Amino acid sequence: MKAKVYLKVDRQNQYHPWIYKQEIGKIVGDYENGDLVGVFTPSGRFRGIGYINDRSKITVRLLSFEPIDVDRLIKMRIENAIHRRKRLLKDQEALRLIYAESDWLPGLIVDKYGDYLVLQINTLGMEKLKEKVVSTLVSLLPNVVGIYEKSDAPAREKEGLAQSTGWLYGSGPEIIYFRSDGLVLAADLLGQKTGAFLDQIRNARVLSHFAEGSVCLDAFSYTGNFALHLLKYGAKHVKLVDYSERALQIADDLLKKNGFEGKYELINENAFDWLKRNSAYGEQYDIVVLDPPSFAKTARSKDQAIRGHKEINLRAIRLIKKPGLLVTSSCTQVISEMEFEQILLDAANDSHAELAVIYKSGQSFDHPYLLGVEETRYLKFFVCEARRRS
């Protein structure tokens, strides 16, 4: 570490991994973006080590609060992340192995699908550590057949990075099948995130209490996680709506593999448009599931995200037989749980309906969030009974 970063003032939340540009008083020494730097208080007291990128508002992302060799640090961080999930690894074929800041490896996501790992890097500093990460994963997980890089998130542009995809170790198929809850599911390496939405699998299990005999709608269905669980738990019929033809083709394959032929319908259309048009026809479904994209990556998009969430929830409520269930999510940390509840209340009021929350949750066990680091907490999941107002 050639360069030293001195803060303007000592930080109130000294254990937050992000140091913003406006917090920095001066930088002493030469560096290239992505290099490791030491971080110090104005008086020169050591605060930690991290990697720097002066192109980003988040100029330094901390890796440790102690001075430590980077090779040893990366190995220790990955070992600790795997150890935290040791019990989950015994009985889950698919799970998040490394969750960025929550595992003190900012910019790095690693998901496990059976014998394969899918890796996503979103920062320049972690990009420079990629070889160390891959070699450490291979050494710690000898049964892994292949490691695929799916670094295609828009966040890379802010770091001055191009998209990067392909096999870093071994090789494998475009679609990786895995088992969960007695179902065959899939990760599509050409699809969203790392291929599947692992954060919602545990939430889908909750539908076992409500699905039997129900007619359901799964909007923003992707490859059918919620639809598959609904049918497994006894739903009569599920309609899947998604804009991605490829995602619906994979959903179709999975629904057939799991023996649900004749119990579903696939609609390849923008779910916003479909909900708007069909809500005019009134109540049709016992259960409506909404699992939309994040709508907002930054605070600047917050108002737009709030409007988007209100619109789809309002339309969904109008499609639910009363009483019936609204199963709805928000997957952006920009909107808090309290704000999401207010969105649902506003949607219910405008629909002249009443919502009673019967269950709420967030991220799965393998996606822990750090108290004091709200950026690691993003998923809100609600199961609400929609009732007529009387």
For the chain, the C-alpha Rg in angstroms (whole number) is 22
| Structure-block tokens of residue 31 | 């560096």
- Residue 238: strand, helix, or coil: strand
Confirm whether 216 is a catalytic residue: no
Can you state the angle between helices 337-350 and 302-318, rounded to 10 degrees?
40
How far is the CA of 32 from the CAs of 36, 74, 264, 364, in angstroms? 9, 20, 54, 37
Distance CA 328, CA 334 (A): 17
- Residue 157: strand, helix, or coil: helix
| Structure-block tokens of residue 297 | 């990556």
φ/ψ (deg, to 5) at 172? -175, -175
Distance CA 133, CA 319 (A): 47
Distance CA 309, CA 290 (A): 10
Catalytic residue among 36, 287, 316, 331: 331
Asked whether 114 and 176 are in contact (CB, 8 A), the reply is yes
- Residue 318 DSSP label: H
Distance CA 40, CA 64 (A): 13
- Residue 207 DSSP label: G
The DSSP line for 330-356 is: EE-TTS-HHHHHHHHHHHHHHTTEEEE
Distance CA 336, CA 348 (A): 18
Residues serving a catalytic function are: 331
